[in-house]
Chain A
């Protein structure tokens, strides 16, 4: 049975559109991993400095921006000081800026003291190496092109090492990404590496969670939906779950139909 693939596409688009307007509202259970991740962030010492790295761009923002949002809520509720910056993902800096600005206002975070935005720096793993030796020197200017020397938070964190930074929260979707952070910054140190991962590479990265090299992982849009519930701020992650249910049923149906056709033809 050969169906025109365009018919399959049409079915898919219609199904997605319908669920976007009329959600099913199925409950989302919370996994152990999500709790572990939440606790890893929650249990950092008071007044810690966390480095949050939005290592993504608009292509993957659909999944990672809601995670960043929930992470910021949790960190600001715990009153951690936040350094926001990435390397190698130019557009990630702009995306993160629009997310952190309203949340920082909500929590009365002072720029330069409670949080700072480094923007995006070129170089990937190479930049991380230099930040380990001299963070302000490697970053030079902040997101708004202001010199970093004037900010108390930067004076307090001269290097990206365990003496100054308690955790690195990396939103990861490719290279450079979490593996570079692991190899260059957190491997063999007390800095906790917690990642927000696109759903696709979850199995791949799971082995680093099992080995303890990552202290936690928000696993795809599902993980985000779980984490949002733990933080108590339901958002876009939770909202996307109904579409995921419908897509799952559809793909499963297509696989089954395709195979029925295949098996009957074989006989």
Chain B
């Protein structure tokens, strides 16, 4: 049946092999892939990679853990409420290992609260590994990595409860957040926690910016794992991101100049939209 439908529609391939109108999209993905690959190769052969500028929200991670250590209270991490198929959740994983290690080193309790069973499973494994690498496997308590509920507001209600009863000193929220962001950030501040919030969901960003002590804005969360790892190879991938943005900026400048000089020409948009 599927086969018949495909036959019946019979779209013509773009440039012989691509599905209709996909060639440019694919070229973009390929381009970014090649740029990142080149940068990684450069870093691997020990060539110089530019430094990443300071990102206040990421510098504050160690400060927050330090504060929790002084107060003898836990650090909470929340990886958003989407599953492992969302790149924001994957970006959050990149931070967990760093935070868990710091907590293991300073003997600070690390709580990770999850809305989805899959990130929960991943974070448990990362944390276990981090405690092992710090030589403190005995200090790892699997009950501190919790799955609360797959329902958004049941999860939110449960997190409020944990904030009230376990009294954490630091709250780090990075990932894909929705309406719960304001409830979590405000409850956290009632408890006097030091809070870092980061998300690429633009509708929630203003709340993290306004109610948290530090905010990671949009793309900054995707640089987090590289930034915290301080590894040249990972830095290389961030340089790749910058190159891609330069290409986008150049395209926009060219397009705008063309549109100004000859308003009827749709040459560039035709290429970008047509192939």
In-complex A–B contact (CB below 8 Å): yes
- A contact set with B: CB distance below 8 Å: 5, 133-134, 137, 174-175, 188, 200-201, 203-204
B21 CB–A CB distance under 8 Å? yes
Interchain nearest-CB distance for A217 vs B (Å): 15
The residue of chain B having its C-beta at the shortest distance from the C-beta of A198 within the complex is B203
B10 CB–A CB distance under 8 Å? no
Contact across chains for A204 and B202 when beta carbons are under 8 A apart:
yes
- Residues of A near B203 (CB, < 8 A) are 200-201, 203-204
- Residues of A near B82 (CB, < 8 A) are 175
Partner of A133, one of B2, B190, B202: B2
> What are 11 A-B residue pairs whose CB atoms fall within 8 Å in the complex?
A133-B2, A133-B5, A134-B5, A174-B178, A175-B82, A188-B21, A200-B203, A201-B203, A203-B203, A204-B202, A204-B203
* Cα–Cα, bound, A79→B214 (Å): 53
Task: A133-B2, A134-B1, A188-B21 given; name 13 further pairs at CB < 8 Å.
Answer: A5-B190, A133-B5, A134-B5, A137-B1, A174-B178, A175-B82, A188-B273, A200-B203, A201-B203, A203-B202, A203-B203, A204-B202, A204-B203
The residue of chain B having its C-beta at the shortest distance from the C-beta of A205 within the complex is B203
Q: Which residues in window 128-151 of B have CB below 8 A to A?
A: none
The residue of chain B having its C-beta at the shortest distance from the C-beta of A187 within the complex is B21
Interchain nearest-CB distance for B24 vs A (Å): 12
* Cα–Cα, bound, A175→B200 (Å): 14
Interface of B is mostly: loop
Interchain nearest-CB distance for B54 vs A (Å): 26
* Cα–Cα, bound, A201→B205 (Å): 11
Interchain nearest-CB distance for A208 vs B (Å): 12
- Residues of B near A175 (CB, < 8 A) are 82
Interchain nearest-CB distance for A212 vs B (Å): 11
* Cα–Cα, bound, A257→B12 (Å): 64
The residue of chain A having its C-beta at the shortest distance from the C-beta of B204 within the complex is A200
The residue of chain A having its C-beta at the shortest distance from the C-beta of B176 within the complex is A175
* Cα–Cα, bound, A136→B190 (Å): 52
- Residues of B near A200 (CB, < 8 A) are 203
* Cα–Cα, bound, A5→B189 (Å): 12
* Cα–Cα, bound, A204→B203 (Å): 7
What 0/1 pattern do residues 194 to 210 of B give for CB contact below 8 A with A? 00000000110000000
* Cα–Cα, bound, A188→B1 (Å): 25
Q: Which residues in window 13-70 of B have CB below 8 A to A?
A: 21
- Residues of B near A137 (CB, < 8 A) are 1
* Cα–Cα, bound, A203→B203 (Å): 8
What 0/1 pattern do residues 69 to 83 of B give for CB contact below 8 A with A? 000000000000010
* Cα–Cα, bound, A5→B203 (Å): 25
- Residues of B near A204 (CB, < 8 A) are 202-203
* Cα–Cα, bound, A5→B5 (Å): 61
* Cα–Cα, bound, A6→B28 (Å): 53
* Cα–Cα, bound, A85→B190 (Å): 42
